[in-house]
Structure 1
């Protein structure tokens, strides 16, 4: 249910753990709730349902713990943390002089492997069993209303029925563009980028979003010569423009080459292990030893049996605020996490799962649902207060709406900006601190709609902003939330001073 650290010996569990013996409790034929997908989102859905006293089966065809545990959140941040720690030390006099040499790449990769539990899912299996859910290994598909068939790696197909709900939590997969030659070129996706045992001499990164930014910085620090090919004109296109600009400056200073306005029109790789050639539309060719395509995500719903309940396979599952899938008769089919396309972030999917679990329990008890904004049974934050961090150099932390998005939605707003590096706490934090902060104020309701921070370690500023946005705290009340001195959080005082001067 929660992101976890590995056990001491890194083997994923003890020899006595049930998963080692292949025992996950005999599966019944009928449960209150069937959860398809055992990543962090599915685990949260299962945990919420069990906490309400409902019987639960969890179906998983891959490692229990999902992409976040093995090929995304945890291993990517394990790769990045040594990079950022070294950079932080080099930017503080006294510490700078004590640092010598580059990263110890082998140690970084070993630490990454440990945080991925060496791709063994024993602790996660133990958690599922520990909350009282049954774990059923295999590929799960819908087979009509309230029915799930499970095709295990071996043995007979299992047929399950849900008395209350089926929860789809199968996540998303990398979306690769339709580029000639790409299918046979064996490109890296986030899976290979977070799990590779080898450091390529030259790495091409196609894309300009969070995965592209984070992996470009990590592999550059580990020794790769990294070139980014970005179709748009800036990095992190969905965030405030200054975020992409500062991140591009940071990557360039670290040695990453960034080429914007570039479209890859063909990929050539004559054989596995051979050099990869990228054909750039109108701009010649570029060669690399590996190429990472970080070009978005797609729902993993193509082989989920959606056609058996009247839905088109392969697309995002549209839901209401409680997670109930629209377009299906009855109140039994739920979807949470990346599958919905609402907010493709692990923490947001876990939030949706908690909301859906509460809604399933309320419906099981025949209780009315509280679906008003910010009610117990509606995922309001998906539209109003989504927090996210890009762990690059510098970090980008944001929540809620950007200025452009707020204006598109018709709000009367004002952006208030401040140089984060001018705050005393930031100057103490790093000798050459560069950063920026922005809040987006709703001029009619006098509350915050969004906030963005860019700079070293700004992720730690984000939750205060998330509370302010989700809580719709009046700006005049925020004025009384006194930041400590000297800390980076003093930027809140500077932002609010500027807001009050201009109102």
Structure 2
């Protein structure tokens, strides 16, 4: 074994999560290599977060102008320029070239090996014809992939997944979207604004089923107002494409004909060809980890997993948070320093359980952190939901004419701390971090009275929620 093939840390997957692990371990003086089979920067940079928001933002900006008298008259009934939007998207993803990200790896002293990384035993990874050995840790940061259900005709129908939905270079005349989660709702908003006739097919009662019910209802209303045909309570039973359009058969109701069909129906871990069986784990499985991100069931604690494959929170920002925790824990253990795994410490990813924030860039936006009321009750908390019309706040009324929205905080009645907060309305994402701080820091509600919101901003919603709670 060559010394050139021995590293302190081997990271498999060079998306944002892997990059953050590698940055932290390299900064701690550990020789680190990162292995990537596709583009450095990963799913988020090229096929998810960045391109999807680049597609959504121009329509949101135009909608914002239309919502204010004076600006409304200036823009009239103009639509976004689809070609310009797609070109802007292409610029944000670097035309799917990763030169800039590779240069960054060089700048922080992390070596890159291009190729498929696969475990071939404890602490060993095979990639690009080399067998790499880790002195201290191997970290799995391979992300997740879209799952397309096994339906009659689906293979020949050439369905879109999230990758095609964020990367298409042309606007389909008709687009059917199967699934009402974040990807389905956001892509319905994006492609409708770009000129597609969109049909959104949802098995449940509303979009965004894991969020507060009112969030899904308001998003469904917003999508319908923008021209999306939102159908709830339906399931796809078959798809068929010959040479042209795709025909989509439903369990009830009229079939749907579209030029493209997007399945936004879930994710699976990219662990099926990772060599997990060589270290006693099941191929293709989600990897259970502790709060320092070490994988359960692996002797000597050398295997870590951060990001989607551990199934804790399939969000880029949460994966990067885990990466920072994992990097700190690996560096401390490599130096034989104690690792205190107590909640909210530097070596414990506690926020994965208690304070996960998420923003959905539909029209209106949804921003949420922590537990919904239903989740809090299911967890056994004695709690209360406090609701307020977000549009009744002065800042919201100034932000947009006829502002429509809603806010909810879920309060633990035993200690008067917030378990969760949800905002729905234009620009709601910009309210989220204050809520995240309040939930993560477990700020008592009596102390929140002293966090004075500036007038006239939409943040005055905090005062109104607290007043409503006091009664």
Q: Which TM-score bucket, shorter chain as reference? A: over 0.9
Q: Aligned residue for 1:451?
A: 421
Q: Deviations over 1:191-236 (max 9, x none)?
A: 0000101111000010001111111011001110000000111110
- Which secondary structure state, in structure 1, belongs to the residue aligned with residue 387 of structure 2? strand
Q: Aligned residue for 2:116?
A: 139
Structure 1 residue 180 displacement after superposition: 1.2
The 4+ residue runs of structure 1 with deviation greater than 3 A are none
Quote the RMSD (CA, aligned, Å): 1.0
The whole-number CA distance in structure 2 between the counterparts of 1:136 and 1:105 is 37
The whole-number CA distance in structure 2 between the counterparts of 1:451 and 1:86 is 28
2:224 aligned residue (241, 252, 262): 252
Structure 1 residue 179 displacement after superposition: 1.1
- Answering whether residue 177 of structure 2 is matched by residue 201 of structure 1, we say no
The whole-number CA distance in structure 1 between the counterparts of 2:3 and 2:192 is 47
Q: Aligned residue for 1:108?
A: 85
Q: Aligned residue for 1:31?
A: 7
- Contact kept in structure 2, 1:59 and 1:138, CA below 8 Å: yes
The whole-number CA distance in structure 2 between the counterparts of 1:91 and 1:376 is 44
Q: Aligned residue for 2:42?
A: 66
- Answering whether residue 46 of structure 2 is matched by residue 75 of structure 1, we say no
Q: Aligned residue for 1:216?
A: 188
The whole-number CA distance in structure 1 between the counterparts of 2:420 and 2:324 is 24
Q: Aligned residue for 1:237?
A: 209
Q: Aligned residue for 2:135?
A: 163
Structure 1 residues not aligned, in runs of 5+: 1-25
2:61 aligned residue (85, 89, 92): 85
- Contact kept in structure 2, 1:164 and 1:332, CA below 8 Å: yes
The whole-number CA distance in structure 2 between the counterparts of 1:49 and 1:343 is 22
- Contact kept in structure 2, 1:142 and 1:305, CA below 8 Å: yes
Structure 2 residues not aligned, in runs of 5+: none
- Contact kept in structure 2, 1:27 and 1:134, CA below 8 Å: no
Q: Aligned residue for 1:355?
A: 325
The whole-number CA distance in structure 1 between the counterparts of 2:340 and 2:445 is 27
- TM-score, with structure 1 as normaliser: 0.92
Q: Aligned residue for 2:335?
A: 365
Structure 1 residue 28 displacement after superposition: 2.1
The whole-number CA distance in structure 1 between the counterparts of 2:130 and 2:156 is 35
The whole-number CA distance in structure 2 between the counterparts of 1:293 and 1:323 is 31
The whole-number CA distance in structure 2 between the counterparts of 1:367 and 1:219 is 52
Give the 5 Å matches for 1:89-100.
89-100=65-76
Q: Aligned residue for 1:320?
A: 290
The whole-number CA distance in structure 2 between the counterparts of 1:239 and 1:251 is 17
The whole-number CA distance in structure 1 between the counterparts of 2:179 and 2:454 is 39
Structure 1 residue 268 displacement after superposition: 0.5
- Which secondary structure state, in structure 1, belongs to the residue aligned with residue 368 of structure 2? strand
2:390 aligned residue (417, 420, 423): 420
Q: Deviations over 1:401-446 (max 9, x none)?
A: 0000000000100000000000000000000100000000011111
